[in-house]
Amino acid sequence: MSEKAIVCKDLTKRFGDFVAVNHISFDVDKGEIFGFLGANGAGKTTAMRMLCGLSYPTSGEATVAGYNVFKQQEAIKRNIGYMSQKFSLYESLTVRENIRFYGGVYGLSDKQLKEKGDELITKLGLEKEAKMMVGSLPLGWKQKLAFSVAIIHQPRIVFLDEPTGGVDPVTRRQFWDLIYDAAANGITVFVTTHYMDEAEYCNRISIMVDGRIDALDSPANLKKQYDAASMNEVFYALARTAKRSAD
């Protein structure tokens, strides 16, 4: 792999005495689906916020899409998409209005908005619902829509923060089809999750414990390394070593 989407070196974030993220280093290749795992309070969200340009690291280095997280936050923001664990569309706007709004915020032209909007609606099979308020859609559809909207501006990297929380297994599978699609189109996917079956779908995963990255490899290699039958066992083996209690 020649091009790296994300490069992290000794990235650290302190809040007073508390070291939320402790010298983490990793690379993510372009077009890769990178799983970012860890128990609650392990520092996942803090690390992700730094990479998205939402907060400054205390020390260390990192580039996202080739831009420096200290100096080029604006450029980073233009080149990434983001979807959080909380549902992130406007409920009192229709499907199409949401697409127009988020597309518009990223500076898409009217023509692009129209094309992309049509394409997206057809792909998700939402033709009949295009004029419906998003609030009246089932959760699974909302999540799929939110993901599609998050990549409407063709970002180089998309950050997904527990995107499938509370969604049924069938819809989760469909959601992952969308993720594979995006990765096939050259979008790097950086995803956090609690579901270990989802971890298996990733190209590589890292597992955070107490602010450090304790394991980083492909799911197959990790299972071999920890002599485990499933990712679940790998995760428990590592999580047990945690000293920090989840809040």
Partner 1 sequence: MKQFMVFVRKEFYHVFRDRRTLLILFGLPVMQILLFGYALTTEIKNAEIIIVDHAGDVASQQLTTMIAASKYFDISASVLSDEDIYKSFKKGKVKCAVVFPIGFGNDLLHGQTAQIQLIADAADPNTAKTLTNYLTAIIADYQQQINPTAAIPMRIEPVTRMLYNPELNGSMNFVPGVMALVLMIICTTLTSVSIVREKEMGTMEILLVSPFKPTYVVLAKAVPYLALSMIDLIIILLLSVFLLDMPIRGNIILLFLESTLFIICCLSLGLLISSVTRTQQIAMMVSMMGMMLPTILFTGFIFPLENMPLPLQLISNLVPSRWFYVIIKAVMLKGLGIGVIWKETLVLAGMTTALLVISIKSFKTRLS
Is 100 an interacting residue with respect to partner 1 (CB under 8 A)? yes
Is 111 an interacting residue with respect to partner 1 (CB under 8 A)? no
Angle 185-187-189 from CA coordinates, rounded to 5°: 130
Contacts of 176 (CB under 8 A, 6+ apart): 198, 201
Q: Which one of 84-92, 183-191, 199-207, 218-226 is the stretch in contact with partner 1 (CB under 8 A)? A: 84-92
Cα separation, 63 vs 73, in Å, equals 10
The structure tokens 């690390």 sit at: 47
Between 21 and 80, name the residue whose CB sits nearer to partner 1. Answer: 80
Between 62 and 231, name the residue whose CB sits nearer to partner 1. Answer: 62
Is 93 an interacting residue with respect to partner 1 (CB under 8 A)? yes
Between 55 and 230, name the residue whose CB sits nearer to partner 1. Answer: 55
Amino acid letter, 40: N
Looking at 4, 29, 61, 101, which residue binds partner 1 (CB under 8 A)?
A: 101
Is 184 an interacting residue with respect to partner 1 (CB under 8 A)? no
Cα separation, 98 vs 104, in Å, equals 10
Reduced to 3 states, what is the DSSP secondary structure of residue 137?
coil
Beta carbons of 207 and 193 less than 8 angstroms apart: no
CA proximity to 7, closest of 60, 58, 46: 60
**Tokens (6 digits) for 178:** 């969308």
The structure tokens 């580039």 sit at: 63
Is 36 an interacting residue with respect to partner 1 (CB under 8 A)? no
Is 115 an interacting residue with respect to partner 1 (CB under 8 A)? no
Q: Which one of 99-107, 166-174, 197-205, 230-238 is the stretch in contact with partner 1 (CB under 8 A)? A: 99-107
Beta carbons of 25 and 7 less than 8 angstroms apart: no
Q: Contact letters (x/-) for partner 1, 46-65, by CB under 8 A? A: ------xxxxx---------
Is 77 an interacting residue with respect to partner 1 (CB under 8 A)? yes
Between 104 and 166, name the residue whose CB sits nearer to partner 1. Answer: 104
Is 118 an interacting residue with respect to partner 1 (CB under 8 A)? no
Is 45 an interacting residue with respect to partner 1 (CB under 8 A)? no
Is 142 an interacting residue with respect to partner 1 (CB under 8 A)? no
End-to-end CA gap in the chain: 38
What are the residues binding partner 1 (CB under 8 A)?
Answer: 52-56, 74, 77-78, 80, 82-93, 97, 100-102, 104-107, 150, 159
